[in-house]
Structure 1
C-alpha cells in the first residue's frame, strides 16, 4: 500500500468529529480514534511496513506506550525481529512493580513507539520514568502528529521525534 493510500485509509477509518477532551487538557472538535486503525490487521501491518524503514540503525528494544503504542510496537517487532516492551502509564504497585513489561530496561537503548501525539505529555512522563530506571531513550516514533506542541516539547527534552504522518498530511490525502 502506498503511503498516501495508507494515510487516506487511516483518516477515513479513524477521524471522527465532535467534542473531545484530550489528555493534554485541550478540547478538540476532531479526534483520531487510533484503535479503529490499530484493530484492522491490514492497516496495522501497513503502518508497521511504512515505519520500519525510518527506525534508527541502532537500538535494543522497541517500547510501546500503554495502550495505543503497544499494538504498533508489536507489529514493528514482528517486522524487525526486535524485542518489544510494553510501557505502563505508571509502575504496578504489586507483583513485579515494573513500569515496562517484557524485558530488562537498565542500560537498554529504547525507541518509544506511540500512536497519536498532541503535547507529548504521556511520552515525557514515560521517558522520565524509563530513564530513572537506567534506560537510554533518544528516539520517539508515532503514527500521527496532531501538530500541537508535541514536537517542540519532545525536542526540548532532547528527543528525536519522527511521525509517520502529520494531521495536515492526513487531511491532504482526503482533500477534494
Structure 2
C-alpha cells in the first residue's frame, strides 16, 4: 500500500484512534507492548462508518449473511450490515446460559453463505472455532473478514479449513512505530 491511497489515510486514522501503546495480555498469556483497541474504533462513529464502507469493498459477491463474533466483531458487523444491506448474525463464544440458550442470534443462516467478521486476526483460532459452529448450524462458511491481520498463522490455519481471509489492513500497513506489537 502506498501513502497516497485512501486506505493509507484510513490506516493512519485507525492507528491514531485504536492502536494503544500500553501493555496487553492475550488470552494465551502472551504479553504485548501495544494493541489494537476495537472499542475505540467502535466508539468513533465516523471512523466505524468509514471502516465499514472500506470493508464493504472486500465482502465476497456471493455473501448472503454477515456474522460478527462477540465482542469486537459485533459493532463491525452492524456497521457492515448497514453499509452492504446484508443481514447480520451475532455469535457468542458459548451458548447463552439463560433465556434462549442460543449461541447464534439474528438472521436465519441455514444454507445461506455466511461471512465471518472480526476486528483482528492473529492465529485464526477464534475464527476457526466460529466457522465450525456456523457449519454445524447449516451455514456454508468460506470467507472471513477482518480490519487488521497480524502475520501469526491465521491465514494459513483458516485456509486449511477452506476459509479465505480477507483483511482490510495488514499489520505492516499501519504507520510506524505502531506496527511492531499491535494485537
CA deviation after TM superposition for structure 1 residue 23, in Å: 2.8
Distance, in Å, in 1 between the alignment partners of 2:70 and 2:114 is: 15
Partner of 1:109 in structure 2?
113
- For 2:23, what is the secondary structure of its paired residue? strand
CA deviation after TM superposition for structure 1 residue 109, in Å: 1.2
Q: Which residue, out of 38, 43, 51, partners 2:42?
A: 38
Distance, in Å, in 1 between the alignment partners of 2:21 and 2:61 is: 38
- For 2:101, what is the secondary structure of its paired residue? coil
Q: Which residue, out of 154, 162, 166, partners 2:166?
A: 162
More strand as a share of residues? 1
Q: Which residue, out of 138, 147, 152, partners 1:148?
A: 152
Partner of 2:61 in structure 1?
57
CA deviation after TM superposition for structure 1 residue 10, in Å: 0.4
Partner of 1:87 in structure 2?
91
Partner of 1:17 in structure 2?
21
Q: Which residue, out of 59, 78, 101, partners 1:97?
A: 101
Q: Check whether the contact 1:65–1:88 (CA below 8 A) recurs between aligned residues.
A: yes
Cα gap change, 1:45/1:5 in structure 2, threshold over 3 Å: closer, same or farther? same
Runs (5+) with no aligned partner, structure 2: none
Which 4+ stretches in 1 moved above 6 angstroms? none
CA deviation after TM superposition for structure 1 residue 174, in Å: 7.5
Distance, in Å, in 2 between the alignment partners of 1:6 and 1:174 is: 14
Query: What TM-score do the two structures reach when normalised by structure 1?
Result: 0.92
Query: What TM-score do the two structures reach when normalised by structure 2?
Result: 0.89
CA RMSD of aligned residues (A): 1.9
Q: Deviations for 1:43-85, whole angstroms, at most 9, x for unmatched residues? A: 0011011111111111211001101111111111111111011
Q: Deviations for 1:6-27, whole angstroms, at most 9, x for unmatched residues? A: 1001011111223322134432
